[in-house]
């Protein structure tokens, strides 16, 4: 399976000629709509993860693509979005998906909370928690971890990875950082997590094999 990372929090997985898009939001300005999109996962309703215009672009090129998100997205979207909840398992083409979580990390107690789902792909191959640090239910080979946000402290990222202990981890959710800020975050995280976790930054538009 191939993974391509775009800026901020957008990811594309490709397998057996099909693509799965995760969180094509308005901060991922370098996102390129792929071919043969089987499904799109929207972890929550914030615009940096959910952009209706980008979804329209995906559907225009891939009318067969299925969209998945929480009720609060499905209820307001002009597009047909299938509602999913934590604990649900679905199969989209070659992608076996399991959803986790339920709540977005707290930004401030005075702000209205929103829902959030994490997504596991193919049992234990890959996990992306969305805007949360919900632990995966089992050991994962790969984890995409948030590293910068108004709701986040870097110590939370470190503890999340220490507890989850994946084989590999890479940073995401970092469009608000400068190049110097990204380098600092990477040095802190890689210096504090377990030495048996291979932590590596994936450049924007870079593809890797999972």
All residues at 6 or more sequence positions from 184 whose CB lies less than 8 Å from its CB, including other chains: none
For residues 36 and 14, what is the distance between their CA atoms, to the nearest angstrom? 9
Residues comprising the chain, all counted = 210
Which range of residues forms the domain containing residue 20?
2-106+114-209
All residues at 6 or more sequence positions from 136 whose CB lies less than 8 Å from its CB, including other chains: 100, 118, 120, 124, 127, 129, 143, 164
User: How confident is the model over 71-87, as pLDDT tens digits?
Assistant: 999 999 999 999 999 99
Residue 107 half-sphere exposure, CB side, CA atoms within 13 Å?
Answer: 12
All residues at 6 or more sequence positions from 11 whose CB lies less than 8 Å from its CB, including other chains: 3, 4, 5, 21, 22, 23, 128, 144, 172
pLDDT tier at 202, thresholds 50, 70, 90: very high
- The whole-number pLDDT of residue 129 equals 98
All residues at 6 or more sequence positions from 123 whose CB lies less than 8 Å from its CB, including other chains: 96, 98
Which CATH number fits the domain that encloses residue 6?
A: 3.60.15.10
Hey, what are 92's tokens? 């989209």
User: What is the torsion angle, in degrees rounded to the nearest 10, for the CA atoms of residue 25, residue 171, residue 124 and residue 192?
Assistant: -150
User: How confident is the model over 108-137, as pLDDT tens digits?
Assistant: 999 999 999 999 999 999 999 999 999 999
Q: Is the pTM of this model over 0.75?
A: yes
Residue 161 half-sphere exposure, CB side, CA atoms within 13 Å?
Answer: 29
SS3 157: helix
Residue 72 half-sphere exposure, CB side, CA atoms within 13 Å?
Answer: 14
The answer to whether 35 touches 19, Cβ cutoff 8 Å, is yes
User: How confident is the model over 32-91, as pLDDT tens digits?
Assistant: 999 999 999 999 999 999 999 999 999 999 999 999 999 999 999 999 999 999 999 999
Nearest alpha carbon to residue 73 among 113, 42, 39: 42
For residues 40 and 9, what is the distance between their CA atoms, to the nearest angstrom? 13
To which residue do tokens 């220490």 refer? 162
Q: Total domain count for the chain?
A: 1
- Rounded percentage of the chain residues whose pLDDT exceeds 70: 100
């Amino acid at each position: 399976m191939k993974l391509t990372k775009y800026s901020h929090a957008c990811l594309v997985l490709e397998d057996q000629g099909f693509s799965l898009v995760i969180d094509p939001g308005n901060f991922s300005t370098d996102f390129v709509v792929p071919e043969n999109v089987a499904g799109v996962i929207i972890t929550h309703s914030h615009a940096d993860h959910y952009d209706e215009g980008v979804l329209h672009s995906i559907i225009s090129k891939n009318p067969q693509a299925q969209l998945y998100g929480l009720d609060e997205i499905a209820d307001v979207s002009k597009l047909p979005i299938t509602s999913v909840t934590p604990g649900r398992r679905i199969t989209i083409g070659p992608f076996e998906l399991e959803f986790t979580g339920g709540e977005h990390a707290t930004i401030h107690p005075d702000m209205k909370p929103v829902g959030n789902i994490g997504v596991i792909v193919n049992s234990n191959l890959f996990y992306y928690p969305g805007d949360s640090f919900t632990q995966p239910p089992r050991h994962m080979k790969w984890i995409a971890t948030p590293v910068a946000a108004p709701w986040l402290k870097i110590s939370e990222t470190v503890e999340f990875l220490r507890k989850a202990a994946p084989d590999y981890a890479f940073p995401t959710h970092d469009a608000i950082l400068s190049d110097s800020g990204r380098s600092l975050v990477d040095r802190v995280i890689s210096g504090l997590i377990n030495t048996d976790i291979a932590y590596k930054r994936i450049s924007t538009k870079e593809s890797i094999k999972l």
